[in-house]
Amino acid sequence: MRYVVTGAAGFVGSHLAEALLEAGHDVLGIDSFTDYYDPAIKEANARAIDVRRLDLAADPLDFSGFDAIFHLAGQGGARSFGGDVFPRYLRLNLHATERVFEAAARGGVRVVFASSSSIYGAAERYPTPEEATPAPLSPYGITKLAGEHLAWAFGRSFDLDVVVLRYFTVFGPRQRPDMAFARIAHALVDDKPFDLYGDGTQTRGWTYVSDVVDATLVAMEAGRGTYNVGGAVEASIRDVIALFERLAGRSLDVRMHSAAPGEPSRTNADTRRIRSELGWEPRTSLEDGLRAQWEWTTAKAAAS
């Protein structure tokens, strides 16, 4: 099979592209290498992948000759507000996605679209099922939800074959440097303070990256509609800090700040649909996943 992976130099995208290559598929990675975080990190992620530098919102797109597209590219960061932030999200999460869907529909190419638990915002119930009313709290969540609506509009009007996955807080090696686990691990390695926004009791359904990759692959094979992709265990930031401290053998210097806007106090996925329809379930425990991320972080620090 011949696949396109957008966002292939990013955290989840690079893991997915490598899994496809290891399975014997041909993979074209696409990434714009934006400066949201250090592009050198993305270049390191993409060393084993054929990645084409492409602006999905502007450059010509032609997916003829490919069997399917994993559309993971987008502007992350659920806390970002103000200034020129929203136009950036509109361009990279919505305009780019519209162009990917248009090109895929034109070429008759199936798409798996990576959405987010951020579309739920402060969810109406927990664990949160796919039919819960969306109420995003951030530009990121708003544009991801709009991307979902684009998916179904292209499906109805242009016969786009598309599956939507709502990822719940993914962690593991290569996690974006602005995300909590990466910041905790680097603070411990570098013996620096960690900035905690909120009181630390906020909880997430943390999802290990290899489990997310597995869900994405089975969704491409047999998925129809929308699926939550979430970890088996919900835990607080304070729980995570305690686990990291145990792995590191030392305490973290935590600096407290007020809660960030756009960040819900809780996320927890109801994954019954993907379990029953596709046979997927998360297999990596929070502690095992944290250990893998810690070992990767310390090895990277030792090599630098």
Q: Active-site residue numbers?
A: 140
Sequence length of the chain is 304
Task: Give the span between the Cα atoms of 58 and 77, in whole angstroms.
Answer: 22
Long-range CB pairs of 30-38 (<8 Å, 24+ gap) are: 30/4, 30/5, 30/6, 30/54, 30/56, 30/73, 31/6, 31/7, 31/73, 32/56, 32/73, 32/92, 33/9, 34/75, 34/92, 36/75, 36/76, 36/77, 37/176, 37/177, 37/178, 38/177
Look up tokens 């709009």; give the residue. 146
Structural contact between residues 200 and 238, judged by C-beta atoms closer than 8 angstroms: yes
Task: Give the span between the Cα atoms of 92 and 253, in whole angstroms.
Answer: 35
Structural contact between residues 83 and 40, judged by C-beta atoms closer than 8 angstroms: no
